[in-house]
Structure 1
Amino acid sequence: MQKNNEIKTFEKIEIKIREDYIENKKNIKSSFDNKIANQNNKLSKRSLKEERFVSLKNNLEKYKDNVRDYYFNGLKAWFVLMQLSFVMRSLRFHYHITNFWFIKSVNRKIMFTASMAGESLGKKILGNFIKTVFILIMMIVFLFPFYWMISVSFRSSDEITEGIKGSMSLWPKEWTWDAYDFLFNNPNAKISIGSAIGSSFLIAIISTIVQIFVSLLGGFGLSYINSRYKEVFIMIILATMMLPGEALLIGQYMIITDLQLKNTLIALIIPFIGNAFTIYMFKNAFDSINDSVKKAAKVDGLSNWQFFIKIAIPYVRATIFTAILISFIASWNSILWPTMVIKQDSQFVTLPMILWQIMQSSGISGDVWNMDGSLDPQNLKMAASIVAILPMFIIFVFTKKYLVKGITSNSGAKE
């Protein structure tokens, strides 16, 4: 009996010790988990702030892209974009201020790593200084001609005449709109500058649409239609790219003359219908489509034409946008061919032709572009150049993202 009591006592003591051990283990684990959680919270406090900033920045970027793509209507969209840009810059400034010490510690680690690799602080500062100076010099080299064009276009004829005889200051003595007013309201001009701008847009739009359509068909055919002469066709197309455009002008002019198409709208469009560069660009873009996509289209029973419309064209839309910009700019800037096939008083006179007439003007009496009797109307020439450049500059500003994407992203294929 006494032995049984001792056994029960030992069992109770063992159970008590086990319960105390389990309780202590839970307390130690809970305390350790709390310490780890507190430490992780301290370490992730700054990363959470960065994630919030990055998330807000991405949302603003998406909203900004949507405004640019779908709600662009002149000054209203410009005002909204400027507001978004201001908000983003304010957030960026706040982000850098609140994370000053974090950035400073990161820079210290970078400098420590660089010093361990043998790069000193002096070398890094000197390298950054040389890069900055080089970039500033290149900016001046590229931007100064544009500034000079703008400043000269806003000078008076008297100041231009004095500058030709002596020296001209970098800053105009008086800003005036005389050159632009004469450019758009010249009573002696047979074709107004507004009509020339409209003709240039009309010709560029029609030429671009026809060229993109022909290039899409040609590129798709070279990519998907198997023929023993396929490589020969590709070599012929590439060979035409090696010839200068001026070498083909005589043959094109003879054909237009034989067809009696001189001084017509068709004569300005025909040379831009076939472009070897855009055909080859589309061919490479169609080649980048995965074979699995082609096999899936065949399984679904799509014909070549259905595959071209429903799958291939959406797949290479970035390349299409890039080709549209290239074709439009080439047609807009064309000067030699329109001068050969269009008369100076034709209703289809383009803006580059007007610009060419102004550049050839000498200010002599009887000249159509004689402005105030000046010997050399440089302000008028610069004003005309700015008017010719401005539409392409605006188009480039709003489409540069798509242009770069189409050139750099896998031959233009959609990601």
Structure 2
Amino acid sequence: MENKIDYGRIEKNAAVRKRIVSTITCLFLGLWAIVVLFPFYWMVLTSVKSYGAYNSEYIPKFFTLSPTVQNYADAFHTVPLGRYLMNTALFTVITTALMLIVITLAAFAFARLEFRGRNIVFVLFLSLMMIPSELVIITNFVTVTELNMRNTFSGLILPSVTSVFYIYLLKENFEQIPDSLYYAAKVDGTSDLKYLLKVMVPISKPTLITITILKVIECWNSYVWPRLITDNEDYYLVSNGIQEIRENGFGRENIPAMMAAVVVISTPLIILFLIFRKKIMAGVSRGGMKG
């Protein structure tokens, strides 16, 4: 009887500890969610405040009783925000499509093709990740300038059509596919390209989707290279357009209109992430697994 009472007490204590840990975890995650989401809430709140109401607040208010959409109208009429969005969409789609072709072929070569010095070449390839990005930007800038490709979409796109990290991630994913499938396909007379497109790409679809989404986010948020290689407003992306809006559009003091422009620019990425968040996590975790 004493043993039964002791076991029951132990189970009860364990349940209490588990409940306490769960409560503390939920409180911590809730607090962290507030910290992370508050800037987005403040951005949207500021964007629906009128210029006069915003400047009349000596103490910032966490709500507004008279929201307005005039700031959003100003974001499209005062500055060419629509053109910036179109330029960014064009840059993002073309860059991502070209990069997927390049990294897929490169990852397949490193994962499946046998050629002399493959491992050495791959190690040297990975070593490129150790080079500071500033040095690469300088080299790319000199090359693009000498080719007279400044203020062109080609100059914007070409330096971004490959990624060592994405090649490595996709190569690791390709190597998880059993070799027996490849050998069976070769016995049937299947070409390497057909095997890649019909077998490896469909199996690695979660990782490819993840890479695509991450590249889209990277292109959409690109700032340094577009700002360096373009000084013509016709080729500005949204990240560079924000600076132009601040300097020559609304002015430094019209914060609500600035926040409206930022909301418009940020919304596509937020929607993209909310739709594909599960695929992003699944693709990253799958790419890091072996065996």
TM-score with structure 2 length normalisation?
A: 0.90
Q: How far apart in 2 are the matches of 1:220 and 1:114?
A: 58
1:138 matched residue in structure 2: 32
Shift of 1:121: 5.4
The residue identity in structure 2 corresponding to 1:368 is G
Q: How far apart in 1 are the matches of 2:172 and 2:243?
A: 37
User: Larger Rg: 1 or 2?
Assistant: 1
Shift of 1:128: 3.2
2:144 matched residue in structure 1: 256
Match of 1:368 among 222, 226, 249: 249
**Which runs of structure 2 are paired with 1:328-339 in the superposition (5 Å)?**
328-339=216-227
The residue identity in structure 1 corresponding to 2:77 is N
Any conservation in 2 of the 1:267–1:341 contact (CA below 8 Å)? Answer: yes
1:241 matched residue in structure 2: 129
The residue identity in structure 2 corresponding to 1:204 is T
**Per-residue Cα deviation, 1:115-161 (whole angstroms, up to 9, x for no partner):** 43472555344333322321221121111111111111111111222
Q: How far apart in 2 are the matches of 1:412 and 1:205?
A: 29
The residue identity in structure 2 corresponding to 1:178 is Q
TM-score with structure 1 length normalisation?
A: 0.64
1:274 matched residue in structure 2: 162
1:396 matched residue in structure 2: 273
Q: 1:203 to 1:114 in 2, by over 3 A?
A: farther
Q: How far apart in 1 are the matches of 2:7 and 2:71?
A: 59
1:104 matched residue in structure 2: none
State the Cα RMSD in Å: 2.2
Q: How far apart in 2 are the matches of 1:279 and 1:149?
A: 36
1:287 aligns with 2:175: yes
Any conservation in 1 of the 2:125–2:164 contact (CA below 8 Å)? Answer: yes
Alignment size in residue pairs: 285
Q: How far apart in 2 are the matches of 1:141 and 1:116?
A: 37
Match of 1:217 among 82, 93, 105: 105
1:150 matched residue in structure 2: 44
Any conservation in 2 of the 1:153–1:381 contact (CA below 8 Å)? Answer: yes
Any conservation in 1 of the 2:96–2:215 contact (CA below 8 Å)? Answer: yes
Any conservation in 1 of the 2:75–2:258 contact (CA below 8 Å)? Answer: no
The residue identity in structure 2 corresponding to 1:264 is T
**Per-residue Cα deviation, 1:206-249 (whole angstroms, up to 9, x for no partner):** 00000000000100111122233212221222122233323311
1:197 aligns with 2:78: no
2:188 matched residue in structure 1: 300
Match of 2:76 among 159, 181, 184: 184
Q: 1:292 to 1:267 in 2, by over 3 A?
A: same
Unaligned runs of 5+ in 1: 1-111, 362-366
The residue identity in structure 2 corresponding to 1:352 is S
1:357 aligns with 2:224: no
2:3 matched residue in structure 1: none
For the residue of structure 2 that corresponds to 1:263, the secondary structure is coil
**Which runs of structure 2 are paired with 1:153-172 in the superposition (5 Å)?**
153-163=47-57, 166-172=58-64
- Structure number with the bigger relative contact order (C-alpha 8 A, sep ≥ 6) is 2
Q: How far apart in 2 are the matches of 1:321 and 1:282?
A: 11
For the residue of structure 1 that corresponds to 2:249, the secondary structure is coil
Q: 1:114 to 1:301 in 2, by over 3 A?
A: farther
Q: How far apart in 2 are the matches of 1:323 and 1:400?
A: 12
**Per-residue Cα deviation, 1:303-338 (whole angstroms, up to 9, x for no partner):** 222222222222211211111111111111111111
Q: 1:220 to 1:121 in 2, by over 3 A?
A: closer
Q: How far apart in 2 are the matches of 1:376 and 1:393?
A: 27
Q: Percent identity?
A: 26
**Which runs of structure 2 are paired with 1:90-109 in the superposition (5 Å)?**
none
1:345 aligns with 2:226: no
Any conservation in 2 of the 1:155–1:173 contact (CA below 8 Å)? Answer: no
For the residue of structure 2 that corresponds to 1:119, the secondary structure is helix
The residue identity in structure 2 corresponding to 1:181 is A
Shift of 1:270: 0.6
Q: 1:115 to 1:246 in 2, by over 3 A?
A: farther
Q: How far apart in 2 are the matches of 1:195 and 1:387?
A: 13
